[in-house]
Amino acid sequence: MTDIDTTAADAAAASAAATPASAPAAEPEVKNLTLSKAINLGLRQAMLDDPKVLLMGEDIGPLGGVFRVTEHLHAEFGGNRVLDTPLAESGIIGSAIGLAMRGFRPVIEIQFDGFIFPGFDQITTQLAKQTYRHEGNQSYPVVIRVPYGGHIGAVEHHQESPEAYFAHTAGLRVVSPATPHDAYWMIQEAIRSNDPVMFFEPKSRYWQRGEVQLDAGTAVHMHRSRVVRTGTEVTLIGHGAMVATLLQAAEIAAGEGTSVEVIDLRSISPIDYAPIIESVQKTGRVVVAQEAPQNVSVGSEIAATIAERAFYSLEAPVLRVSGFDTPFPPAKLEKQYLPDADRVLEAVDRALAY
């Protein structure tokens, strides 16, 4: 193979890669991992499974990415599988499209949510439409990983939730894991998908630990929403980092005598409505929560669809709890901007009051 990356860092990587990788046998079936490490392991497994999988992005090589999600992968797989790219998002996505045409399965890391927009054109007008334009003659298995959302006290453009833009675009699949276990399996499924997948990683949860079961029988499906807590009076729906907030709200509500069901969407496009409709038919009351601004959002879409499909089950209008329709504020105001358990519970109370 031609060595496409000739930077000095690769010399070290090449010698490291020459060392035989230790056999993956004797792995415990269950690991306690951070969400970040779970994605790292999922990426590694995908790269072991398919030599056409390669990683591309800014600072993802020897550094391991600014969140260290790709840590050690450059050393293990070398610079031809883990490409530190020039600092140009459109260039990364556009060249990934060409690599996909060639038969590769590029997995891109966008450094932060708010940095995706220089690549927005290549994602929405090129990547998303290539399969259609080619009438199915070629597939575009490109995964775009995007650390997203607030709660990390960062500067402008580092805390946004832009997922709705991509859910609005035909040709893309949009998912977001909420737990380390889901993240481990969903990233592998996203890479196996023959379609472009926007993989939104809840960066405020990167360091949260959880059990990850490595047995293939425990694999989750990225497009299947799931009930993570059962309840009878109100249904809470969210994705990504919001799921933990909803569980927290449900716990508080339980203490106050209200039984709340929580659904983790996992997938934003397409949305798996079966568990949602089933839940609504039971509870009759729904609160959809998201960090993103409210106008024309994922929550709005879910509210409209519930109204269409479960109108006679509803005891109250579907309520949305969102970020405000403002730019993401300076970080010292993020607590007031981002929906927390109290804001969710305020909506629960309103729903129950109908």
Partner 1 sequence: MLADAAPIQLLAPDGTLVRNAANEEFLPRIEALDDARLIEFHRQMVVVRRFDIEAGNLQRQGQLALWIPSLGQEGAQVGAGYAARPQDHIFPAYREHAVARIRGVDPMRIIEMLRGLSHGGWDPKAHGNLHLYTLVIGSQSLHATGYAMGVALDGSSGTGDVEKDEAVLVFFGDGATSQGDVSESFVFASSYQTPQVLFLQNNHWAISVPVERQSRTPLYLRSQGFGIPSWQIDGNDVLASYAVTATALDSARTGQGPRFIEALTYRMGAHTTSDDPTKYRQNDELAYWGARDPISRFETYLRARGAGDDVFADIAREAEDLAADVRTRTLELVDPPTGKIFDNVYSDPHPVIEQQRAWLDAYERSFEGTEG
Under 8 Å between Cβ of 210 and 217: no
Residue 170 near partner 1 by CB under 8 A: yes
Nearer to partner 1, 155 or 304 (CB): 304
Whole-angstrom distance, CA of residue 288 vs CA of residue 285: 10
What's the min distance (Å) between Cβ of 22 and partner 1? 26
Residue 67 has φ and ψ, to the nearest 5°, of: -105, 5
For partner 1, the binding residues in 109-128 under the rule CB under 8 A are 118, 121-122, 125-126
By CB under 8 A, is residue 308 in contact with partner 1? Answer: no
Q: Give strand pairing partners of 7.
A: none
Indicate which single residue of 153, 270, 327, 330 sits in contact with partner 1 (rule: CB under 8 A): 270
For the bound state, the minimum distance from the C-beta of residue 208 to partner 1, rounded and expressed in Å, comes to: 30
| Choices 36-44, 59-67, 94-102, 235-243; region in contact with partner 1 by CB under 8 A | 94-102
Considering only 77, 104, 112, 185, the residue that binds partner 1 (CB under 8 A) is 104
Greatest pairwise CA separation for the chain in angstroms: 67
8 forms part of the interface with partner 1 (CB under 8 A)? no
| 309 part of the interface to partner 1, by CB under 8 A | no
Q: Binding residue for partner 1 (CB under 8 A) from 173, 203, 205, 285?
A: 173
Residue 125-164 contact track with partner 1, rule CB under 8 A, x = bound = xx--x-xxxxxxxxxxx-----------------------
Residue 134 designated active-site: no
22 makes contact with partner 1 (CB under 8 A): no
Q: Are 196 and 171 in contact (CB under 8 A)?
A: yes
| Count of chain residues binding partner 1 (CB under 8 A) | 49
Rounded CA gap, 17 and 15, in Å?
5
With beta carbons less than 8 A apart as the criterion, state whether 42 and 188 touch.
yes
Task: Give dist(CA 119, CA 117) in Å, integer.
Answer: 5
Measured CA to CA, the distance from residue 251 to residue 97 in angstroms comes to: 45
Per CB under 8 A, which region of 4-12, 214-222, 230-238, 345-353 contacts partner 1?
Answer: 4-12
Residue 103 touching partner 1 (CB under 8 A) = yes
In sequence order, the 6+-apart residues with CB closer than 8 A to the CB of 233 are 258, 259, 260, 283, 285, 352
Instruction: Report, in Å, the least distance between residue 125 CB and partner 1.
Output: 5
Q: Which helix (H) or strand (E) holds 243?
A: helix 242-255
- CA distance linking residue 151 with residue 240, whole number of Å: 13
Q: Which is nearer to partner 1, 21 or 101 (CB)?
A: 101
Q: Is 282 exposed, middle or buried (0-12, 13-18, 19+ CB in 10 A)?
A: middle
Q: Which is nearer to partner 1, 24 or 103 (CB)?
A: 103
With respect to partner 1, which residue has the nearer C-beta, 37 or 173? Answer: 173
Residue 149: closest CA among 107, 114, 194, 101: 114
Question: Minimum CB separation from partner 1 for residue 65, in Å?
Answer: 19
Catalytic residue among 158, 181, 223, 239: 158
With 0-12 / 13-18 / 19 or more C-beta atoms within 10 angstroms meaning exposed / middle / buried, residue 103 is exposed
| Residue in 35, 39, 96, 220 binding partner 1, rule: CB under 8 A | 96
* Residue numbers annotated as active site: 158
Query: Which residues are at the interface with partner 1 (CB under 8 A)?
Result: 1-2, 4-6, 54, 80, 85-86, 88, 90-91, 93-104, 118, 121-122, 125-126, 129, 131-141, 170-171, 173, 193-195, 269-270
